[in-house]
Structure 1
């Protein structure tokens, strides 16, 4: 079960995820797929996109989201840590024994399976 966060903490974590995307451009649907790693609540998803746009993290143009290169890529090994246990992947729900957790300043996302963490971060 993911940690309970306030609305403001969830928005901050979502914006930070968008700051670290490796894609220069992606569809709004793909951006929302990434944000679902943080929340599946539609109003929070909208708040995350609006806040990221207001801060200049992204530019939205219709169904396209363009990232601005203000942030940095997530580093595997330092910002992505693994833990052994009995987990369910936050993205796909599959049972996993090794959870991958992404550590940001505003909090931690996970657990994810090895392929889902790469998808969330835009490496696949």
Structure 2
């Protein structure tokens, strides 16, 4: 799989990533943190959130999001692939020798370090307030 290059591909990947977050609720900042692994464009970030809401993937209530796709979490055994090499984590920018990539229907997202992959998928939160 190749990294998404067009705006539409990034939008689809962003919506699918939100659909696979392993939390029923998260705050807007946590959602934006995940989306920023795809794009740092504020306009595209807004479009991803709008598309996810229109498609029923999320409901927005102020600065909180409710994920409506119960049970569609990233399956680590099937959808997360680890590759050895010299990588830079898409989330934190750290150099990593093992890159973790998420394979979604809309495309591949990564590389991530071992702790950032858990944060991006929602298996580990950055704060207890999430």
- In the superposition, the TM-score normalised over structure 2's length comes to 0.91
Q: Contact 1:79 / 1:103 at 8 angstroms: preserved in 2?
A: yes
Q: Which residue of 2 aligns with 1:104?
A: 104
Q: Which residue of 1 aligns with 2:87?
A: 87
Structure 1 residue 117 displacement after superposition: 0.4
RMSD: 1.3
Gapped regions of structure 2 (runs ≥ 5) = 125-130
Structure 1 residue 3 displacement after superposition: 3.4
Q: Which residue of 2 aligns with 1:121?
A: 121
TM-superposition CA deviations, 1:54-113 (whole Å, max 9, x none) = 000000011111010256111112100000110000000000010000000010000000
Q: Which residue of 1 aligns with 2:31?
A: 31
Q: Contact 2:3 / 2:109 at 8 angstroms: preserved in 1?
A: no
- Three-state SS of the structure 1 residue aligned to 2:37 is coil
- Three-state SS of the structure 2 residue aligned to 1:78 is helix
Gapped regions of structure 1 (runs ≥ 5) = none
Structure 1 residue 35 displacement after superposition: 0.8
Separation of aligned partners in 1, 2:39 and 2:70: 23
- In the superposition, the TM-score normalised over structure 1's length comes to 0.95
Q: Which residue of 2 aligns with 1:18?
A: 18
Q: 1:4 to 1:23 in 2, by over 3 A?
A: closer
Q: Contact 1:19 / 1:71 at 8 angstroms: preserved in 2?
A: no
